[in-house]
Amino acid sequence: MPIINRISEFHDDITEWRRDIHAHPELQFDVNRTAALVAEKLKEFGVDEIVTGIGQTGVVGVIKGRKSQSGRTIGLRADMDALPIQEIVDRPYKSKTPGVMHACGHDGHTAMLLGAARYLAETRNFDGTAVVIFQPAEEGGGGGREMVKEGMMDRFGIDEVYGMHNAPGIPFGQFSIRPGPMMASADMFIIDIEGKGGHAARPQRVIDTTLVGAHIMTALQSVVSRNVDPVEAAVISVTTFKAGDAFNVVPQTAQLTGTARTLSPEVRDLLEIRMKEIVEHTAAAFGAKATLDYQRHYPVLSNHPEQAEFAGKVARMVSDKVDMNTPQVMGGEDFSFMLEARPGAFIYIGQGDTQYLHHPEYDFNDEIIPIGVSYWAKLVETAMPAD
């Protein structure tokens, strides 16, 4: 594979950073050690400007090319946070924090973008500006949204933005991408039911919230099957149902929570409207009251067609395996907020037949480092050629 030679020379260093980050995982916005390490490395590489504390703990580095005639600025983004999972494999660099581990490979993403920053700051073989973005809280906290909200795109004059995620199950070294929607909107809902508690032996005197909850749960499954166009994608999963403490008491209240996913804004609106109707009217039919708190978290991750095409072209410079038609998935990604703010594209880099993401045995495959870093470098050098 046409890996950039200079980057291969950094392979051991980048692996060492990756494993150091792996051993010290941090959650959500509390990525203080990782962010400090990132800022320290960027300084060491001679990056022109380093700004910390964007989106609480996000870090941004600005690298100017040897020319600045194009006036263009390209953003490259990595995520820094880990997951509340207990790592179960005894590796030399196993997590030192009980119950927390890098099970999504963000340790690898951070290390690869650091590698790219080192190469770009050393060579500067481009005409324009590269901005490296290290975000906190990808796993549910919306760190990307916070960085965008604080005006990162305007502040650094970012014209286009690119993201990359490792992918177990995709062949080693293969890049996979598609134009348009690639990952789902990821929303959360909470349904609170209030009935009338009482003695379980006197059902005529109670309004049974467990029965109401069961009917709501069942009826919700009609939304995807009966309201959503069958050629569209949608998921509604009720994942918790909490009610009651005793075998002989009908509980006064019950609560259901879960997640709703779609690949289009229209279907997303439809789910929220139909869920609200079902929740309120089903409860009313039993004489109970129920409310739907539908919380919109991550929007659909939609690659801009021109930038997805460009990302594929760059990927082909680095790898002979590029899939431009990767299947859509119903997982969500915080990078979607950046793609709402600027044109860009998100790409998967295959890490071969390894344990899947969010599994307690998962580990980032260090062998993909030179491929991923070469992709970042080529992307900048090709988007903003110096000659």
Interacting residues with Zn ion (CB under 5 A): 104
- Surface-to-core class of residue 91, CB atoms within 10 Å of its CB (0-12 exposed, 13-18 middle, 19+ buried): exposed
CB of 89 to Zn ion, least distance (A): 18
Report residue 214 as tokens. 């069961």
- Surface-to-core class of residue 301, CB atoms within 10 Å of its CB (0-12 exposed, 13-18 middle, 19+ buried): buried
- Closer by beta carbon to Zn ion, 104 or else 318: 104
- Closer by beta carbon to Zn ion, 65 or else 372: 372
- Nearest residue to 23 via CA among 113, 108, 101: 101
CB of 195 to Zn ion, least distance (A): 37
How many residues are there in the chain?
387
CB of 140 to Zn ion, least distance (A): 9
- Closer by beta carbon to Zn ion, 156 or else 362: 362
- Closer by beta carbon to Zn ion, 72 or else 109: 109
Report residue 277 as tokens. 């109707």
How many angstroms separate the CA atoms of 279 and 217, rounded? 9
CB of 326 to Zn ion, least distance (A): 16
Q: What is the DSSP letter of 231?
A: T
CB of 265 to Zn ion, least distance (A): 23
Nearest residue (beta carbon) to Zn ion: 104
- Nearest residue to 132 via CA among 244, 20, 26, 39: 39
Phi, psi of 89 (to 5 degrees): -100, 135
- Closer by beta carbon to Zn ion, 214 or else 329: 329
CB of 338 to Zn ion, least distance (A): 14
- Closer by beta carbon to Zn ion, 25 or else 65: 25
The residue written with tokens 């959650």 in the block is 27
CB of 198 to Zn ion, least distance (A): 44
The residue written with tokens 């030192």 in the block is 96
Q: What is the DSSP letter of 27?
A: B
- Closer by beta carbon to Zn ion, 57 or else 209: 57
CB of 168 to Zn ion, least distance (A): 11
Going from the C-alpha of 334 to that of each of 66, 163, 183, 339, the distances in angstroms are: 32, 10, 10, 9
233 within 8 A of 183, measured Cβ to Cβ: no
Compute the Cα dihedral for 62, 70, 344, 65 and give only its sign. negative
- Closer by beta carbon to Zn ion, 167 or else 314: 167
How many angstroms separate the CA atoms of 46 and 61, rounded? 10
